[in-house]
Amino acid sequence: MAFDRETDVLVVGSGAGGLVAALRAAKAGAEVLVVEKGALWGGTSATSGGGIWIPGSHLAEAAGQADNLDDAFHYVRQLTADNVDDAQIRAFVENARHMLAWIEKEADIQYAALPYPDYYPEVEGSREGFRTHLIPGQMHASQMNRAAFDTMQRASPAASLWGRINWKLEETHIALFRPKGWWKTIGKVMAGYMLDIPQRLRSPRDRRLTLGTALLGGLRNALDQTGTQLWLESPMVSLIEEGGKIVGAEVKHEGKTVRIGARKGVILAAGGFERNAELRKKYLKAANDTPLASGSQVNNAGDTLVEAERRGAATRNMDSAWWAPMFRVPGEDRSRLSTVERALPYSIVVNQAAKRYANEALSYHRFGEAMMTENKPGAATDPSWLIFDSRYRASYPAGPVIPGMPESMLPAGVREVLVKGSTIEELAAAAKLDPATLKATVDRFNTMVANGKDADFGRGDAAYDRLYGDPRVSPNPSLGTVEKAPFYAIPLHLGDIGTNGGLVTDERARVLREDGSTIPGLYAVGNVAGSVMGYSYPGAGATLGPAMTFGYLAAADICRINARD
């Protein structure tokens, strides 16, 4: 069969899963080509916090928090879907730590195991920390190839100050709770940004890379050192099949359709279908069908998934996503994830019947699930309302609402969705909620706060709830009365940070047909594949951790090397 270009491994997509696969294959001696549909590389991974959920890591052990892999397997097994087999769960649990050690060595990416609780503390096998790993440090773009930095996907507006200045995790905490001497840390961050004169003359973009951008920057640097090419604005058009085997793909590149032969195989790593209105309407019955409901980057339209289906690939859990409550600002091309806002004191979340319906401090996926299950006639939850008082307004961010900033100085889109009232009843009327019901809801909540316990939903009982609470508030850092005027409300919409149902794969990331047989030459990792986590989200980093681990395993299988070499 004639090709315009040949390589050993073709990787479709440039997020963390794809780049780990590409780097692993290149380090094994394979010739690799990465193709990216968008004008920017990095995928949704670059817009994320960069966290990875890794059981049993050497970093946890070094911190005196050795994990038990059987416990981790049991925890995931209870949470995931029945159609995810034990072998795939085992492959993730047993190899994730090896992947982490490998990227530390080969890409000089330094993670840390944190005391960050798993999301389901009530499930046997969970831990109160040290499975979630984050990058505590930073990387400077001067360490990167200029063209690579210029074309990297930008950090999410929710993970940066004014959509420009990138934060490290500890800096976010300091800015939020302002402990003694906080201004020194924040002043240093601001000065570092403002005094980067060459970059300020060139662009408002921060050259300090943190969280997801630090992860992707490290992976791209390591990949560039292997001589691997990464083509931008080069969407895969179709897979090329010969004798039942995938042998390459047609890619649109520089205005031409290029036939690329892949001697060893094709790895699909192009993300989910959350930005495709038609597929959302078809599969995500419980969610809004507008792509604006998603917080992911705009190119995830499910192209590669649909093409793999056309070639006989099986799919699973297509009604699944990484659900989340989202802030939606008119004029922005994606929604903003709500993480810390709901766990902070002096606030509640109510449905359109003006009643609470869940523990507000739940992880975003679990709260998103609550938005779906509690969405009932006369008590709709999409949108819900985040209600907060003037103490909250002065101290904490409410999504795009910057604390302390006068409403007149907020962007027009934010002012359009923010509601204000001098009394709870006035606020209710402005938000089209029943004033008497909202007043009763707030009064009951305030009474429970005074008693030190949320008797209705247990907010603040779990370690995870308290993680994002204000440590200055006692006895429960997540509970504070909503009583100081004026009062505010902002809508919370049901959305997602990506779909996680997709192609059926095995423990080596090989794509399977409906009869369970493999499609030779075809692999899938990340959100284009049905997640090993099924419908669940066990802990922070349970998106990237499996994507990177199965990218690592796919490359090992495709290059016929031991997964732990």
More confident residue, 177 or 475: 475
pLDDT at 377 over 80: yes
Separation CA 300–CA 302 (nearest Å)? 6
Question: Token pair for residue 504?
Answer: 């059926």
Q: Are 409 and 418 in contact (CB under 8 A)?
A: no
Peptide bond into 400 cis (omega under 30): no
Per-residue pLDDT tens over the stretch 64-91: 999 999 999 999 999 999 999 999 999 9
Q: What is the CATH architecture assignment of 10-45+226-267+295-323+497-558? A: 3-Layer(bba) Sandwich (3.50)
Say whether 149 sits in a helix, a strand or coil: helix
- Residue 553 pLDDT: 98
Separation CA 260–CA 231 (nearest Å)? 12
Peptide bond into 486 cis (omega under 30): yes
Find, among 177, 553, 218, the residue nearest to 340 by Cα: 177
Per-residue pLDDT tens over the stretch 8-33: 999 999 999 999 999 999 999 999 99
- Residue 445 pLDDT: 98
Where residue 145 falls among pLDDT bands split at 50, 70, 90?
Answer: very high
CA atoms within 13 A on the CB side of 15: 33
Residue 163's Cβ-count burial label (10 Å; 0-12, 13-18, 19+) is: middle
Separation CA 410–CA 227 (nearest Å)? 46
- Residue 75 pLDDT: 98
Q: What is the DSSP string of 319-387?
A: T-EEEEEEE--TT-SS-EE-SSGGGSSSEEEE-TTS---S-TTS-HHHHHHHHHHT-BTTB--SSEEEE
Question: Token pair for residue 368?
Answer: 């998103």
Separation CA 41–CA 44 (nearest Å)? 9
pLDDT at 290 over 90: no
User: At 93, which amino acid appears?
Assistant: V
Question: Token pair for residue 447?
Answer: 């009474």
Domain positions in the chain: 10-45+226-267+295-323+497-558, 50-134, 330-496
Question: Token pair for residue 497?
Answer: 């940070």
Question: Strand 347-350 relative to strand 510-512: parallel, antiparallel, unpaired?
Answer: unpaired
Other Cβ atoms closer than 10 A to 457: 18
Rounded mean pLDDT of 486-496? Answer: 97
Per-residue pLDDT tens over the stretch 226-277: 999 999 999 999 999 999 999 999 999 999 999 999 999 999 999 999 999 9
Q: Are 532 and 92 in contact (CB under 8 A)?
A: yes
Separation CA 125–CA 111 (nearest Å)? 23
3-state secondary structure 16-31: HHHHHHHHHHHHCCCC
CATH entry 3.10.180.10 includes domain 330-496? no
Helix axes 544-558, 86-107, angle to 10 degrees: 90
pLDDT above 70: percentage of residues in the chain:
99
* Lookup result for tokens 């004026």: 486
pLDDT at 159 over 80: no
- Residue 187 pLDDT: 86
Q: What is the DSSP string of 508-529?
A: T-EEEBTTS-EEEEEEE-GGGB
Least confident of 57-61, 193-197, 430-434: 193-197
Separation CA 532–CA 542 (nearest Å)? 9
Q: Are 138 and 145 in contact (CB under 8 A)?
A: no
Separation CA 376–CA 474 (nearest Å)? 35
Separation CA 450–CA 461 (nearest Å)? 15
Separation CA 300–CA 319 (nearest Å)? 16
Where residue 532 falls among pLDDT bands split at 50, 70, 90?
Answer: very high
Where residue 188 falls among pLDDT bands split at 50, 70, 90?
Answer: confident
Q: Which residues contact 344 (CB under 8 A, 6 or more apart)?
A: 392, 396, 468, 469, 470, 478, 480
Q: Are 9 and 536 in contact (CB under 8 A)?
A: no
Least confident of 168-172, 197-201, 362-366: 168-172
Peptide bond into 411 cis (omega under 30): no
* pTM attached to this predicted model: 0.95
pLDDT at 192 over 80: yes
- Residue 565 pLDDT: 67
- Residue 499 pLDDT: 97
Least confident of 5-9, 187-191, 421-425: 187-191
Where residue 63 falls among pLDDT bands split at 50, 70, 90?
Answer: very high
User: At 365, which amino acid appears?
Assistant: H
Find, among 398, 411, 420, the residue nearest to 332 by Cα: 411
- Residue 179 pLDDT: 81
Separation CA 301–CA 303 (nearest Å)? 6
